[in-house]
Amino acid sequence: MNLCDIKTIKQVMSIYGLTFRKEFGQNFLTDKLVVEDIAELCCEGQSKNILEIGPGIGTLTYELAARYENVLAVELDRGLIPVLAYTLGEYNNVKIINDDIMKCDIAEITAPYLEGGLSVCANLPYYITTPILMALLESKVAFDYITVMVQSEVADRLCAAPGSRDCGAITAVLAYYGTAERLMKVPAGKFLPPPKVDSAVVRIKLHKDKPYAPKNEEIFFRTIRAAFGQRRKTLPNALAAGFGELTRPAITEAVTATGLDVNIRGERLTMPDFVALSDKLTELIAEVYTNA
């Protein structure tokens, strides 16, 4: 069955009385070569098991099942569950969970699939890309790779270099967890129905051992969020909005003690800068609570 063929897609949808649901970000790939490339490249052959989010009618799932020992697919749309049973009927190595990935205990559902390596491969809905990525990263699951199809401009942010115009909070967070690279561009015309913008595939290689070790991970992430929360403001002013327990002079002291110029903006900071700055803020916050 060619699940990239437009006639086949429409026929399958018609058989089960389904329509494309915009609220679930349903846009199905229609280029078989692109689908095969994503399945082939998603983990560089390092994983035996794949977690897929939002399999749709099974277009990518079909190719993943042909290449990997096990595929665990989480699909929110209940109406697609019987469709997946039909389109993936020839495979016995696929497990479908009808649930919302944002409400799942990701560590629990993936626990049986860690032996032999586990990676994520997904065509993510545009409207919830960052929350899903954060849920995967914060799950503490030892993924080898996270490979996702995202909106092209989101791919720019995920893969941006420090100090570039596209650099944002998600860029810094990803740099802490792993290394992101753009694999390919996928034009809007390769989907049914076609979205309004082009997409891109990004592969994130997760660090086995993180090269950075902030004293307090929670404050480290607070530092990143605050630094990018008000991009037009200088770093001390941006941090002041995110660290209400500290005085402005204390925050300025933390910035200068880290060796940073008080007029710098958050987007210019490197990962070592964020770690050093958050460590200083951690010390200052500890002093505040000690003296309270």
Dump pLDDT digits (tens) for 225-282.
Answer: 999 998 789 999 999 999 999 999 999 999 999 999 999 999 899 999 999 999 999 9
Helix (H) or strand (E) holding 109: helix 106-110
Model pLDDT for residues 84-130, shown as the tens digit of each residue: 999 999 999 999 999 999 999 999 999 999 999 999 999 988 888 99
Residue 175 in any domain: the answer is yes
Please report the pLDDT score of residue 18 as a whole number.
78
End position of a domain, from candidates 154, 179, 206: 206
User: Do 96 and 28 touch, CB atoms closer than 8 A?
Assistant: no
**Domain hosting residue 159, numbered range:** 6-206
Is 37 part of any domain? yes
Residues 14 and 125 in one domain: yes
Given a cut of 70, whether residue 292 has pLDDT beyond it is: no
Q: What's the structural domain count of the chain? A: 2
Residue whose entry in the numeric block shows the structure tokens 């026929």: 11
Query: 106-136 as b/e, with b when 16 or more CB fall inside 10 Å?
Result: beebbeebeeebbbbbbbbbbebbbebbbbb
165 and 106 in a single domain? The answer is yes
Whether residues 256 and 224 share a domain: the answer is yes
CB atoms within 10 A of CB 44: 13
**How confident is the model over 40-82, as pLDDT tens digits?**
999 999 999 999 999 999 999 999 999 999 999 999 989 999 9
Say whether both 15 and 145 belong to one domain.
yes
Residue 211's alpha-carbon distances to 134, 145, 208, 275, in angstroms, are: 19, 17, 9, 11
Cα separation, 11 vs 218, whole angstroms? 49
| Same domain assignment for residues 59 and 196 | yes
CA distance 14 to 19: 8
